[in-house]
Amino acid sequence: MTSHFLAQLGTLLPPGRILTDPVDCYAYAYDNSRKIFPPEAVAFPLDAEEIKAIVLLCNAHNVPLTPRGRGTGTSGGSLPERGGVALSLERMTRIVTMDAANRVAVAEPGVINQSLQDSAKSHGFFWAPDPSSAAYSSIGGNLATSAGGPHAVKYGTTRDHVLGLKAVTGEGSMITTGCYTTKGVVGYDLTRLLVGSEGTLAVITEATLKLTPLPEAVGGLTAHYRDIASCAEAIVAVMALPQTPSALEFLDSGSLDLIRSRFPEMVPADATAMLMIEVDGSERYISESCNAILSACRNDGLINAERTADAAALWRARKTLSPLLRDIAPKKINEDVVVPVSALPGFLQELGRLSDKYRIANVNFGHAGNGNIHVNLLVNPDNFPEMARAEQCLNEIFDLVIRLRGTLSGEHGVGSEKRAYVGKEIDMSTMALMKGIKRVFDPNNILNPGKLFL
């Protein structure tokens, strides 16, 4: 990065909105992938015009530009791998419109997911995407990864809840995609092309989001199983019911052991698998649905299944898990593969076999209603032989997922972490089209270069 470039950047933004001191820049070097790539400068634009000016400058000087929300991603998508400028959107935090009559919110990319929820809640609505990072992650980051969360089983993921976008392409064009209404079929769907594109095509400057009415009430039940096969069977049975749960979370024996190590009373001693099933709607609907779901949960491996007093009780075991996992394996490999629900029994069994084969302890839990399992390999990155085995294990897990008609990522995205594996899922001709689209939006490969593709 030349001093000439920096001088020009200085003409675009005031001093308080540019960082160049390496100590300051370091704060923008990481995300939850725990890789470190410091940018050479950090820019804090406040509007689309400023973003356009920065994009044009980076094009003129061939400087990489990496858009960044709040850096909570786990795949390295927001890391400036090749240096250059980190474009932090954290100061664009305006909720432009909260239009309850039309069930629409318009927000800048830096708005925190939770802030949007708080604002929508007062009108009786919510925005459906609910990544577990919701309290910290931004709408822009949610859009960039098409974030999901536990409620996706009923409500879908981010791409299902965006009506339109304003964005600045990698070439510096200001574009407007989609519409303000819930129906619209004029032109190609560029909205969903940008959602999930991980900042490689354009910088989102404003999003028109679809709101959903808040459910009247939330209830649910937990079910504990003696063996994982019975639990997986119950998942398939529940998802065959017409009553779609609002969340269907699974915890395996590794997860339950971890919880018992700190809270011995929280789960039955003989349980090796657990389901937490949330249902929302009217009290009557919840009651009827819970009865149907309790029936579907019953099989020979069931220890007990019962309705929980409230949502807090329902989620207690699940919320306990993540911090415990971080304690015992701070540098675990955390995947988010997806397989068809009917393939879960075979998949979970096979994960056990692979754990034995490669002597890599694993802990598996997640959004079973979507077949979306967080496979955690508990490794120590300083143990090289273990890491080599883990890599082979992961490779075999990915092959298995593809064989079962699944996908390598249900919510984290590719970023840099899964880049090497994308070829397992996407064939060469489809990949060539994606690269062609990248060139249309970003001919000089300025925006988040090197991400998504090898």
Per CB under 8 A, contacts with a second copy among 317-356 are: 338-342
Using CB under 8 A, which of the segments 57-65, 237-245, 247-255, 256-264 binds a second copy?
237-245
Rg, C-alpha atoms of the chain: 23
CB 441 within 8 A of CB 202: yes
Where does this chain touch a second copy (CB under 8 A) — which range of 98-106, 128-136, 315-323, 385-393? 98-106
Q: Give the DSSP per-residue string, 352-409.
A: HHHHHHHT--EEEEEEGGGTEEEEEE---TT-HHHHHHHHHHHHHHHHHHHHTT-BSB
Tell me: does residue 430 bind a second copy (CB under 8 A).
Answer: yes
403 binds a second copy (CB under 8 A): no
Residue 217, beta-bridge partner list: 281
Taking every pair of C-alpha atoms in the chain, what is the biggest distance, in angstroms? Answer: 72
Q: For the CB of residue 269, give the shortest distance to a second copy in the complex, in Å.
A: 32
Angle at 252 between CA 248 and CA 254, to 5 degrees: 145
Site for a second copy in 37-66 (CB under 8 A): none
Rounded to a whole number of angstroms, the minimum distance from the CB of residue 442 to a second copy is 11
Using the rule CB under 8 A, give the single segment among 17-25, 64-72, 255-263, 403-411 that binds a second copy.
403-411
Query: Judging by beta carbons within 10 Å of its beta carbon (0-12, 13-18, 19+), is residue 51 exposed, middle or buried?
Result: buried
Of 40-48, 225-233, 248-256, 366-374, which part binds a second copy (CB under 8 A)?
366-374
Q: How far is the CB of 379 from a second copy (least distance, A)?
A: 23
CA distances 349 to 133, 296, 392, Å, are 29, 21, 18
Contact stretch for a second copy (CB under 8 A) within 111-119, 251-259, 267-275, 399-407: 399-407
Residue 263 binds a second copy (CB under 8 A): no
Question: Least distance from C-beta 415 to a second copy, angstroms?
Answer: 10
Among 11, 16, 122, 242, binds a second copy (CB under 8 A): 242
CA atoms within 13 A of residue 9's CA, in its CB half-sphere:
29
In the complex, the smallest distance separating the C-beta of residue 158 from a second copy, rounded to whole angstroms, is: 9
Among residue numbers 109 through 168, which ones bind a second copy (CB under 8 A)? 124, 145-146, 148, 152-153, 156-157, 159-160
To which residue do tokens 């988010």 refer? 336
Shortest distance (Å) from residue 398 CB to a second copy: 11
Q: Is residue 2 near a second copy by the rule CB under 8 A? A: no
* Contacts of a second copy in 184-203 (CB under 8 A): 184-190, 192-193, 195-197, 201
Which DSSP letter does residue 420 get?
G
> Which residues, other chains included, contact 358 with Cβ-Cβ below 8 Å and sequence gap of 6+?
389, 390, 392, 393, 396
Sites for a second copy among residues 284-303 (CB under 8 A) = 284-285, 288
432 binds a second copy (CB under 8 A): yes
| Minimum gap (Å) between residue 281 Cβ and a second copy | 8
- Nearest distance, CB of residue 63 and a second copy, angstroms: 22
The sheet carrying 65-68 orders its strands as 18-19, 41-43, 85-88, 65-68
Query: What's the CA gap between 122 and 393, in Å, rounded?
Result: 47
198 close to 413: Cβ distance less than 8 angstroms: yes
Backbone phi and psi for residue 355, each to the nearest 5 degrees, phi listed first:
-60, -45
Q: Which stretch binds a second copy (CB under 8 A): 252-260, 315-323, 374-382, 433-441?
A: 433-441
Terminal Cα distance for the chain, rounded: 24
- CA 98 and chain centroid, separation: 24
Applying CB under 8 A, which of residues 86, 413, 446, 448 lies at the interface with a second copy?
Answer: 413
User: What is the token pair recorded at 214?
Assistant: 């808040």
Segment near a second copy (CB under 8 A), from 257-265, 294-302, 316-324, 408-416? 408-416
Minimum CB–partner distance for residue 180 and a second copy (Å): 4
Nearest to a second copy of 89, 143 (CB atom): 143
What residues contact residue 134 under an 8 Å CB cut-off, 6+ apart?
Answer: 113, 114, 117, 149
Does 174 participate in binding a second copy (rule CB under 8 A)? Answer: yes
Q: Which amino acid does the sequence have at 424?
A: K
Selected from 408, 416, 448, 451, the binder of a second copy by CB under 8 A is: 408
Tokens found for residue 373: 């399992």
CA 398 to chain centroid: 18
Least distance to a second copy, CB of residue 340, Å: 4
How many residues sit close enough to a second copy to count as binding (CB under 8 A)?
92
Nearer to a second copy, 3 or 430 (CB): 430
Nearest-approach distance from CB 169 to a second copy, in angstroms: 7
What's the min distance (Å) between Cβ of 188 and a second copy?
5
| Cross-strand pairs, 105 | 98, 209
Rounded CA separation 43/106 (Å) = 23
Q: How far is CA 212 from the centre of its chain?
A: 20
